[in-house]
Amino acid sequence: MTEPSTTRAGTGPSSAPAPTRRGPVVAALMLGMGLAAIDGTIVSTAVPQIVGDLGGLAVFSWLFSGYLLAVTVTLPVYGKLSDTFGRKPVLVAGVVLFLAGSLLCAAAWNMASLIAFRVVQGLGGGALQGTIQTIAADLYPLKERPKIQAKLSSVWAASSVAGPAAGGLLAGYADWRWIFLINLPVGLVALWLICRYLVEPEQGAPRAGARKPEARARVRIDWAGALCVFATGALLLTALVQGGVAWPWLSAPSLGLLGGAAVLGAVTVLVERRAAEPIIPGWVWRRRTIAAVNLALGALGLLMVAPTVFLPTYAQSVLGLGPIAAGFVLSVMTLSWPVSAAFSNRVYTRIGFRRTAILGISGALLVLLAFPLLPFPGEPWQPALLMLLLGAALGLFQLPLIVGVQSTVPYEERGTTTASVLFCRQVGQSVGAAVFGAVANGVLAARLGGDGDLDTLARALDSPGSLPPATTDLLRRAVDAAVDYVYLGAAGAAALALLVLLVLAPRRFPVLKDPGEG
């Protein structure tokens, strides 16, 4: 390894003893990751059937927003709890909560109840996302972590892409309630595997630098901090998700939510400074490595909005592809990403985590800048090729940063560290959706001489035969220009991540020794 194997004063090895059988535990982690990923997208294609059955067309977007909010704002809380009480009880509680939410969603009697139960699902989903990533780092030594992370990335990518198709099939040929009921057998298998095979370190023989059992028994949960983090995140994300959609950006609801989030953010800082065991410890931002990775992956969440949200619209409205073909243009990125991530260890073992991430984000920056240079209307293979290259570049960027930052902290800090990284990435996605949505609609308004809305134009272009050829061409060129500007904004986010790595990240990550190393 190029990275030095140093041990911070007062800390022990960076990994806990592995469970006796890793295979069943890894299977459980992959099942849990698949559940968390697919439920973020599976509802999208079943909305017409759900609305037709339950009503509530005006608020159906909260089926997605409520789930996203609950997952995001609970990540720091679960991260801290997993460091305090262990990964297993947090993950078991998360799976149980997720399955309970799924069962309740299937029994929903109106849109309000379904939205509320989706929030319950999201509360469990937050535990799944953060704790699974942490356990994966606990199970494997540094040299082997790319393998498990690549597997989890593959599961996440495949589940996210398959979600809309699965939702459409279940809603069309069975009943939309099966979208949630199919979680039960999968989740129960994962729960059994976790309970049966996941063996955490013995509490009676603590690691160097870890709390003694009697200290753990006396630990106090920072409930005030957890509530403040939850409330601040909920207000901020609600403003970002609903601003410009449910109400104008400069309206009273947007300004009130943003102002309330700022006030609660200040209160959260004060509460966390006084807490004995804060939910978000100050060291998360005081350590250069963790702070740099948090900011860099926040920028990753920002730039990922361009391909995941806007590329399908571009493929259908500009290239004239059907939904399945448009999905394929995006899905090629999910093929190259895990492959690149799996081989990234051969790169970072030679040149280090920071340089590997710099190489990856530099490649992503070039790909994003190339997108606006595509001809109009172009051929489908052209954006598909760019997405293939983007996935390969981001695999080299994201995984070395996650593996690297997890390897700089001991076992008892890894849950908090992993959760902070995922939290920043989730917030970046929410910010990106709001910012790039405003950019796209602004470009459309300028091109069409009035108020523009990308969703409205996309629906109009679904049946181009109903429009005069000149009008169709005008609308397609307007959508093309809007998506081009979004990709330029994504390139700006990639440049920001590159700047963070060059300026803030240490040249060598302070990696701790794995057990058994000399």
The tens digit of pLDDT for each residue in 473-496 reads: 788 888 889 899 999 999 999 999
pLDDT at site 204: 40
Burial of 246 from C-beta contacts in 10 A (0-12 / 13-18 / 19+): middle
Q: What values do phi and psi take at 314, rounded to 5? A: -60, -45
User: What is the C-alpha to C-alpha distance for residues 361 and 320, in angstroms, rounded to an integer?
Assistant: 31
What percent of the chain shows pLDDT beyond 90? Answer: 25
Q: At what angle do helices 353-370 and 381-406 cross, to 10 degrees?
A: 160
For 256, other C-beta atoms within 10 Å of its C-beta total: 12
pLDDT at site 9: 37
pLDDT at site 98: 94
Q: What separation in angstroms does the CA of 262 have from each of 53, 62, 66, 256, 481?
A: 39, 23, 21, 10, 34
Is residue 59's pLDDT more than 80? no
pLDDT at site 46: 75
* Most confident of the following: 150-154, 166-170, 347-351: 347-351
* Most confident of the following: 17-31, 168-182, 282-296, 321-335: 282-296
* Most confident of the following: 103-112, 134-143, 241-250, 472-481: 103-112
> Tokens 């999208």 map to which residue?
44
* pLDDT tens readout for residues 171-230: 777 888 888 998 999 999 999 999 988 887 654 444 444 444 444 445 567 788 888 888
In the chain, DSSP finds a helix count (H) and a strand count (E) of: 20, 0
Is residue 15's pLDDT more than 80? no
pLDDT at site 233: 81
What percent of the chain shows pLDDT beyond 70? Answer: 85
* pLDDT tens readout for residues 66-81: 888 888 888 888 988 8
> Range with the lowest mean pLDDT among 43-52, 63-72, 106-115, 505-514?
43-52
Calculate ∠ Cα 237-52-158, nearest 5°: 55
* pLDDT tens readout for residues 84-94: 888 999 999 99
Q: What is the rounded average pLDDT of the residues 420-425? A: 90
pLDDT at site 185: 93
Question: Buried b vs exposed e over 378-395: b needs ≥16 C-beta within 10 Å?
Answer: eebebbbbbbbbbbbbbb
pLDDT at site 10: 38
Burial of 4 from C-beta contacts in 10 A (0-12 / 13-18 / 19+): exposed
Calculate ∠ Cα 292-271-264, nearest 5°: 80
User: What is the C-alpha to C-alpha distance for residues 85 and 92, in angstroms, rounded to an integer?
Assistant: 12
* pLDDT tens readout for residues 236-273: 878 877 776 667 778 888 889 999 999 998 998 898 88
User: Within a 13 Å sphere around the CA of 245, how many CA atoms are in the beta-carbon half?
Assistant: 19
Is residue 8's pLDDT more than 60? no
Q: Give the 3-state secondary structure of residue 305.
A: helix
pLDDT at site 488: 95
pLDDT at site 11: 41
* pLDDT tens readout for residues 294-321: 999 999 989 988 888 788 888 878 888 7
Collect all residues with Cβ–Cβ distance below 8 Å to 418 and sequence separation of at least 6.
Answer: 79, 130, 133, 134, 137, 402, 406
Q: What values do phi and psi take at 5, rounded to 5? A: -100, 90
Does residue 171 contact residue 45 with C-beta atoms inside 8 Å? yes
* pLDDT tens readout for residues 370-418: 999 999 888 889 999 999 999 999 989 998 999 899 989 998 888 889 9
Is residue 13's pLDDT more than 50? no
pLDDT at site 354: 93
pLDDT at site 473: 79
Looking at per-residue pLDDT, the higher value among 458 and 311 belongs to 311
* Most confident of the following: 141-145, 448-452, 467-471: 141-145
Is residue 1's pLDDT more than 50? no
Q: What is the rounded average pLDDT of the residues 119-130? A: 90
* Most confident of the following: 22-26, 457-461, 471-475: 22-26
> Range with the lowest mean pLDDT among 193-197, 334-338, 456-460?
456-460
pLDDT at site 55: 82
pLDDT at site 14: 42
Is residue 118's pLDDT more than 60? yes
The chain-wide mean pLDDT, for the chain, equals 82
pLDDT at site 501: 95
Q: What six digits make up the tokens of 10?
A: 């007062």
Q: Euclidean distance between the first and final Cα of the chain, in Å?
A: 14
Is residue 115's pLDDT more than 50? yes
pLDDT level of residue 467 (50, 70, 90 thresholds): low
Is residue 500's pLDDT more than 90? yes
Q: What is the rounded average pLDDT of the residues 96-110? A: 93
Q: Identity (one letter) of the amino acid at 462?
A: D
